[in-house]
Structure 1
Amino acid sequence: MSASTPPPPRTPVDLPITPKVYERGNKRLDGVLDFVAFTARPMPLVTLLDEAPRRIVQILGCDVCSLYLVEGENKLVMRGNVGFSRTALGQIRLNVGEGITGQAVEYLRPIISTHAETHASYKHFPGLEEERFPVFLAVPILGKQGPVGAIAVQREAIPFSDPDVELLSVLGALISAGIRHAELIDSQRERSTVTRRAGGGTRKVTLPGRPLVPGKALGAITAPRRPTQRLSAHHLNERTTTIEQDVRLLKVAFDVAEKAILALNERAKGISVGKEGAFLSTYVEILGDMRFRELALEITESGVGIPAALGRVAREATRTAATITRDPFLEERARDVEDLCDALSMLAASDKRAELPSKAVLVGDGLSVFDLLISARAQPCGIALSERATSPRTRILLELLGVPAIVDVQGLFRWSSDGDIALIDADHGLMVINPSKSEIATIRHARNQGGTGPQSGAAPQSGPGAGPGDR
């Protein structure tokens, strides 16, 4: 045979003549193909956060799967999980480079360990009990401009193989597309060209926060109202109430507030908040102080109006605490007096324009007893508080209010305004402004299934400050 003559084609007898079709029955392959089809569909972010870990657990045969999202400059927050308590969502947080998962994101490479607790970068979270699953694998989820999250899977005993690492890395790439489409807004992405139109009408955005009271809620955004404490001479002349009526309304407001505070105090005992709820007793004492009542009524009888009278009482308490005694306890008590005076003013007000819309999502920088006495009467369906809500009382007040609530919401007031529709997902710690039709349908479907309490997005049937004429 010459050098120019091509060799004859080879026909190995051990190769099948017809192509092989992989029918269903291979559990791992079936799971991967189903995962590909699942991630190809548009879906709400929370569906991805819940469903992707569940499917990965089945595909890899692991005990735990945690899905982290990159938020802010360098923070990893657990937003999806199978294997740990639901209370871990939104609470487990790592810096990029911290822990095995954070290190995988920093290096942009998978990290594997058969005894995670002995790894130099291991970070322990009290109460999570992840030491039960020491076999650990973390892979970064890569986006167009860097990491967008991470997946961490854990087993009790069987080490992960190289094919496991390769497969999980590919599954992470599929999840990446879903995360990008969710339009998660945080401090890092706020510097982009994304803008909103003032007065509502913003496109859909998702703001991350920290869940405190679990559940889901859907409603229009509104901010708590506060009373106007100064009335001009013109407005005084246009008042629709007489001095005698003001005095009577203020007396009724005192009675309603005292009854509501006593009920809140009893409720706090019922949910076992212990010493953390002791501040409610201060409000009971203030309302039981006859000098406080007499002074407020006396100033009201001078004809200045209820808001101005209560404002003068609050300023007097603040001035005494700040300039005469400088006692920390009295300074805090003065703030409580001011809060209570605002509540009394609103309880006595006859101006319907000051009332909140019912079943709304309340947004603000904090929560106080004022809101339990006043805002709760409108039966809000959810609460979202900004990063300024740092008071140690916040958690207790939110638990007493008893509706789905998230705090530490970055960019809350930049992206929301009165009238915008908001979905509060206090299971994952997310606030979706102008949610999609599918997200709204998911909430309504859960409600129609007979769910009750915060998980269905329903507000309590009555607020703690409810009184005559409140319904």
Structure 2
Amino acid sequence: MLNTLRRIVQEVNSAKDLITALDIIVQRVREAMGTEVCSVYLLDPGSSRYVLMATQGLNKDAVGVVSMANNEGLIGYVGAREEPVNLEDAAAHPKFRYFAETGEERFASFLGVPIIHHRRVMGVLVVQQKERRQFDESEESFLVTMSAQLAGVIAHAEATGSIHGLGWAGEAIQDTRFDAVPGAPGVAIGQAVVILPPADLKAVPDKHVKDIEAEVLRFRSAIEAVRQDMHDMSAKLSTQLRPEELALFDVYLMMLDDAALGNEVLAVIRGGQWAQGALREVVNAHINRFEMMDDPYLRERASDVKDLGRRILAYLQEANKEERVFPDQTILVSEELSPVMLGEVPKEKLVGLVSVLGSGSSHVAILARAMGIPTVMGAVDLPYTRMDGLELIVDGNHGEVYSNPSPELRRHYLEIVREELELVQGLEKLRDVRCVTTDGHRMPLFVNTGLLADVARSLDRGAEGVGLYRTEVPFMIQDRFPSEKEQQATYREQLEAFHPLPVTMRSLDIGGDKALTYFPIREDNPFLGWRGIRVTLDHPEIFLVQTRAMLKASKGLNNLRIMLPMISSVYEVEEALHLIHRAHSEVCDEGMEVPMPPVGVMIEVPAAVYQARELVQMVDFLSVGTNDLTQYLLAVDRNNPRVADLYHSLHPAVLQALIKIATACREAGKPMSVCGEMAGDPASAVLLMAMGCDVLSMNATNLPKVKWLLRQISLSDAKALLDEVIGLDNPHLVQSTLHLALRNMGLEKVLRQGR
């Protein structure tokens, strides 16, 4: 039965349209199950009626003619119950309704299963037989499995029609929405330009060659051509980006060096493999390593390697480069956008970005935020290959894409664009003022950084320090662990840039889910594996070198703070503190006078929440990473669009955890900071302040909005709001209650930001 199912699925997936796919299903299912009838009824969203769309065994003339209300007959009964209905004598059931057009009174046995996609009933798949009998469990499970496959086919057909303004039944529709993940804030209205990858590495076969030197020459020539492309794209973007942000292209160029991808590919070629096969082998190995990683920022490096591999392959295949004409309001759409693709569009024409894959941590999202281009990522249900030339609306605040927009929706978003422009211009004057509530409560606002590109942007927006500096970046762009001197130089740049403001450096956060190419770790469950502090404690030589580099970099500046990631127990902190004190002694023994910096713990896993009282006694501060804490508490990957609606930082469990941490810090007289995305949401920041959070650290883009809102409200009002929502049991109700209260205070203008 499994092989039969696989064959049917393959045949259905290759069907040219929905009607053909449905005809294949009813024909093949009837044959596989040995029944006399198989039919598909689809629920028309416009009329809320089930329509017979395909059948084998009933009267063919009834197709498209017979329909029933969504609460009518056995079909409506199956849809309403959202589970299979298995009847020995269908006509005896009180919900049975006879349709003369179908001729179905001859069939006694009935098995109907709902077709459900993302919790929405899309139709019903039915088999019938003259003989009175109940279908057995294996038949029922086969039909349930078949309906699950059919759900995806129908959803794709719906989406494909929707982008052109037509439903599957031919009815006109507008304002079709596709959900995604916010990448860069703002709204764009423009024309879609779809960029397809230049070459497909997966399609490259193995081929053994005798003329190895000719293959080496071809590969080196392709590398040089791509390197020149990188230089050209970098030059094109040089007027839009700061030098620090252009350094992203240097990462690409470093990957092309012999010391990185180059030598590995050449080694495979010299083993007798042709250049294209060697490239595929090496690139896929790198992609697999990156895609294992848990950290969204590091996981996105897989797309960078993939993009480079495709570009090299395109030259190896001597692919023809087509000349594109970009419209004035270009919205770039691709399965997987890369930073290089941005450089292909004239800067004055690019208004929005849409990527089917990726997350808000990808390089392209980082660049988009730097360039102020509204972006959505992870639009997995988007039929992007059919969108070229269509008018789209990109909502980067909430992670939504609209096709075939109505005049009303277009006017609505044009008003949002106007309001956003006014808001940004109005917030610029807040850069040099402190964040103080109306009743005099001081709330310092820090930023999260990882690239040099973040520095100038952070200072431009009035950041008062760095709440999280991700030290993984210098480790990522090398083919070995960076030396102590190399790390010291990198850390010194950050510390000097923000001096005298404090800079909180997180110790190296790698592991099974964030494996470096030169430190590979494979695990069955990397999310709960050897990672973060567990790795660095097992490798004290790595931890000590990094700590010494941080301490030496802080000489004469004294604005360093060290933070320990993924702590889940007291003894981990004890071991880490022992190593930090040892590193400090070693630096002092070298004759460098460096004071011992404050040390803190990141609260990211539930175990740390329940040990917050013990942990805070051991260190100088606690910092909550709400992104990971929310994911671990709710068991939801926030970058997975399939379950994105389950991820919510205002979930009651998250709020209760934060209150528990804040209470522990307050009792110990130690500061608590929040460095997750929750801190950058203005409405959530109000609750964090009310809980007793001492520092909020966020993306630089959100800092002015948070500052504006906190300066308009009193601490007492914030505490009243917290009291009002803390008893609610639904995160969406918490958010709507919070937003309503802020709107009633006249503070709605910064609430467009997504969760």
Normalising by structure 1, we get a TM-score of 0.36
Q: Which has the higher contact order (CA 8 A, sep 6+)?
A: 1
Normalising by structure 2, we get a TM-score of 0.25
Higher helix share: 2
